[in-house]
Structure 1
Amino acid sequence: MTSLIHDLAHVTVRQVAVGDMDNNVYLITAKASGAQVLIDAADDLPALQALLAEGAADSGAPTKLELIATTHQHWDHVRALEGLVEATGARTAAGRQDVSGIPVPVDVVLDHGDVYTCGEVSAGAQEHGGFDLTAVHLRGHTPGSIAYVLKDDDGPHLIFSGDSLFPGGVGNTQKDPDRFHLLIGDVITRLFDVYPDDAVVYPGHGRPTTLGAERPHLDDWRARGW
């Protein structure tokens, strides 16, 4: 079974599920430069290293893990983070309000709307062998949860949503109405109101969906309160 889920013009995306909670880990590789970002070093360091080895075949240049991007601070999303940093020397990124809960120093502190350019580029990421990831701050599941959005020329927007958006609803807010209203408000205004229906949502656990498949149910989610 292949880990490859997208083979786009400038990048590939690979995915593996790890650990007892079946956490999804995603690897983006720039075809021209070999620059890579891994999203959520959740568990099972050998499996993550195998994923990196598979990603090495996706580039004509030597690959290098440039950044480990964490969607949020919960323990099941960071269990292999320290080991992967030690093994690769990669920089780390996380949302500002979750930094204190990340078990390693955070090199790139993200706020809503920040754009991280992976790869050594001078102007226009894709023309020079890199790619851009846009940080979307989604409050509620944790204070600093970040969704990472990737757009390549020939494909849809890809939204790596962590535990903030799944098929069938938003993430767990422990029945706290204030946190729920924060989360669904951010998901609607910062994802559904910004990105098109063909945007693919890749959550922290389970199967992907699209914004178009979920959009008709937003009122139902709000009414039920979870």
Structure 2
Amino acid sequence: MGYTGKVRPGGPADVRELPRLTIRKLSVSEMHNNVYLLSCRATGEQLLVDAADEPDRIMQLVAAGGGSLGTVVTTHQHWDHVRALPDVVARTGARTVAGREDAAALPVPVDVEVDHGDRVSFGAVDLDVIHLRGHTPGSIALAYRDPDGSTHLFTGDSLFPGGVGATHYPGQSFEALIADVSARVFDVYDDDTWFYPGHGDDSTIGAERPHLPEWRDRGW
């Protein structure tokens, strides 16, 4: 069977093979956090998106990728996305990357603080940084523009199938998040762009685009 993006806590990873990049998706914890391991097929170098929980399972995922882990990117500061971060970094020595406005809140020092329009590279793979304000001040998404196909976005908790991330807690802003998601995601990326959220199933920009007016009207 091909990649579906449907994973469950305690279950196996789902694997997507692109011409130049392998994507492994794993669900951890009772909160169904998604962890993504990206492996450069040319060099074997690897990057992890969100060391959310269950460090032993994350290390098994890294081993399945066949290479060392050189970089861990944290999409945002919330506790459920960083529980395994200290352990994974201690075991691998990976450099840490996070959005500038969230970096100080992480449980490990951040080696590279990024802003909108920056690039994170590993092996022969480049990822564009998209700053999406509103869920947290420094939330980021990562865009892989596949030279051989469509774009792949790793959106953290800023964009899900069915809406943007939660904005009902103090310090959050639906207006800021819907504005950034509209201008920096939907206005930039084609309908065949596939996105991978911080929890649950994946979707495409095309599947979600018709619902933007509904999201704006309901305010969440």
Q: TM-score, normalised by structure 1?
A: 0.90
State how far apart, in whole Å, the 1-side matches of 2:120 and 2:169 are.
33
Task: Work out the CA distance in 2 between the residues paired with 1:154 and 1:19.
Answer: 34
Pick aligned residue for 1:214 from 196, 208, 217: 208
CA distance in 2, matches of 1:178, 1:135: 20
Aligned to 1:106: 110
- Contact 1:71–1:147 at 8 Å: present in 2 too? yes
1:2 Cα deviation from its structure 2 partner: 5.4
Cα shift readout 1:126-175 (whole Å, capped 9, x = no counterpart): xxxx1001110000000000001112222321110000000000000016
State the alpha-carbon separation in 2 of the partners of residues 34 and 209 from structure 1: 27
1:101 and 1:175, CA in 2 relative to 1: closer, same or farther beyond 3 A? closer
Q: Distance in 2 between matches of 1:192 and 1:175?
A: 25
Does the alignment pair 1:202 with 2:212? no
CA-CA distance at 1:3 after TM superposition? 2.4
Q: Which consecutive unaligned segments of at least 5 residues does structure 2 have?
A: 1-10
Find the residue that maps to 1:223 and give its secondary structure.
Answer: helix
Q: Tell me, yes or no, if structure 1 residue 15 matches structure 2 residue 19.
A: no
Q: Which residue of 1 aligns with 2:60?
A: 50
Q: Partner of 2:121 in structure 1?
A: 117
Paired with 1:32 and 1:183, the residues of 2 have a C-alpha distance of: 36
2:195 matches 1:185: no
RMSD: 1.5
User: Post-superposition shift, 1:11?
Assistant: 1.1
Q: Distance in 2 between matches of 1:155 and 1:6?
A: 13
- What is the match of residue 85 of structure 1? 89
Task: Name the SS of the counterpart of 2:102 in structure 1.
Answer: helix
Aligned residue number for residue 151 of structure 1: 145
Structure 2 CA distance for aligned equivalents of residues 105 and 155 of structure 1:
35
Q: Distance in 1 between matches of 2:122 and 2:181?
A: 25
Alignment coverage as a number of residue pairs: 210
Give aligned-pair identity as a percent. 54
Residues 14 and 26, structure 2, Cα contact 8 Å, conserved in 1: no
Contact 2:12–2:26 under 8 Å retained in 1: no
Deviations 1:28-68 (A, max 9, x none): 00112111100000000111011011111xxxxxx221100
Q: Aligned equivalents of 1:67 and 1:184: distance in 2?
A: 29
The amino acid across from 2:111 in the alignment is D
Alignment pair present for 1:171 and 2:178: no
Separation of aligned partners in 1, 2:145 and 2:114: 18
- CA spacing shift, 1:107–1:53, aligned 2, 3 Å: same
